[in-house]
Amino acid sequence: MAYEGKPITFTETHRMVAMVVFNAMTLFVAVLYLGGGFLRATVLAGFALIATSIGFGRRWIFRAGLVAAALAIAVSFGFPAPNEWAGLFNESRSMAAAMMQGPSRSY
């Protein structure tokens, strides 16, 4: 039996509400997965939900939700765990500093 009712149509307002709620849920799950804890994930998702609902920094908060989700997916596939990030950050910073100095000329 096929569905023969009216197609579901979203207005621009419904679409924006769906995007805001989905972004908040994505940010909550990503922070929770990355080890942020329930309270921290709730606070960040609540901030994202309220700020994007009133139009404050909507584009940046949507991007932050996307980045957090991408990072959680990368960690789930076996990239470095969050407890190893500090060491990787320090190594990359020292490597960047060495690259900025140029080649060493010890003859």
Position 45 scores a pLDDT of: 92
Q: What is the dihedral of CA 89, 95, 99, 102, to 10 degrees?
A: 140
Residue 51, amino acid: A
pLDDT averaged per 10 residues, the chain (length 107): 70 87 92 89 92 87 88 84 79 84 63
pTM surpassing 0.75?
A: no
Hey, where are the domains in the chain?
12-101
Contacts of 34 (CB under 8 A, 6+ apart): 68, 71, 72, 75, 82
